[in-house]
Amino acid sequence: MVTGLTGARKRERDLQRRAGRRAARQTGTAQESSGKDIAMTSSQAVRAVLAGLEHSRSWQEELYRDVHRHPELPHQEHRTAALVAERLRSAGYQVHEGVGGTGVVGVLANGEGPVVLLRADMDALPVREATGLPYASAVTATDATGAEVPVMHACAHDAHVACLAGAAHLLAEGREHWTGTVVALFQPAEEAGDGARAMVADGLAGLIPPPTVALAQHVMALPAGQSSPAPDPCCRQQTACGSPCTAAAPTARCRTPRSIRWCSRR
């Protein structure tokens, strides 16, 4: 009797274990299926937002050439700021101009969700262009010291402006496929090292909701159509003080931020 009862209990326990394993497998399959559904939904949303890329690419390229042909020194980005403000306003963004001097901020609220800040810089460098391009710059301007200097977009800020203007447009056109808030921030005077600080001092925090994430961009040596996101500082920089550093390991001389994400050890 004892042996028989023990065997029955063992069989019952084994049956319960097998049932538990089946239930676990079914739950796992359901979760995996749900994950795939979520991934598919997300992928479909991305494709839907990007569906307008072919339409926007032509004016983005023209905007790039226009900005490249008309570069502006730090704190003098009036023409560029007007171009991006017009683009944002036509796409339905709430636009703030003159932030920190010539900075432009567009806010597109689209229901509940994360607040994503997208940032591009607008200023050019005192460099003479010799590319021979049909849209090459022939601009000269007076710099902060009063000297007349040639001006060129030699650091890809023209591309940054065109890319962010295009992204802002696509997100506005495809807003039915996402929820949250987009903040498109066009920063002045990155090359001078004080544009970000000027925007903050001018009340930037009061114009936008607290960002969940802030994303910037850089033109790198990658094939067209590819991107390479990185969560941490990854590009060697030359600070406004002339001392080379990285945001991860700045030198003792580094005191001036180059971008909206300031050096944590300044």
pLDDT band at 165 (very low <50, low <70, confident <90, very high): very high
Residue of 139, 152, 164, 154 whose CA lies nearest to 85: 164
* pLDDT tens, residue by residue, 57-90: 999 999 999 999 999 999 999 999 999 999 999 9
Q: List pLDDT tens digits, range 238-259.
A: 333 333 333 333 333 333 333 3
**Per-residue pLDDT tens over the stretch 172-226:** 999 999 999 999 999 999 999 999 999 999 999 999 999 999 998 888 778 877 7
Tell me the per-residue pLDDT of 22-63, one tens digit each, with 9 for 90 and over.
544 444 444 444 444 444 467 888 999 999 898 899 999 999
Options 3.40.50.2300, 3.30.70.640, 3.40.630.10, 3.40.50.960; CATH for 7-219 is: 3.40.630.10
Residue 259's pLDDT is: 36
Can you give 69-117 as a three-state secondary structure string?
HCCCCCCCCHHHHHHHHHHHHHCCCEEEEEECCCEEEEEEEECCCCEEE
Task: Report CA-CA distances (Å) from 12 to 5, 6, 208.
Answer: 10, 10, 62
Count of H helices and E strands in the chain?
A: 5, 9
- The domain locations on the chain are 7-219, 221-266
pLDDT at 229: 75
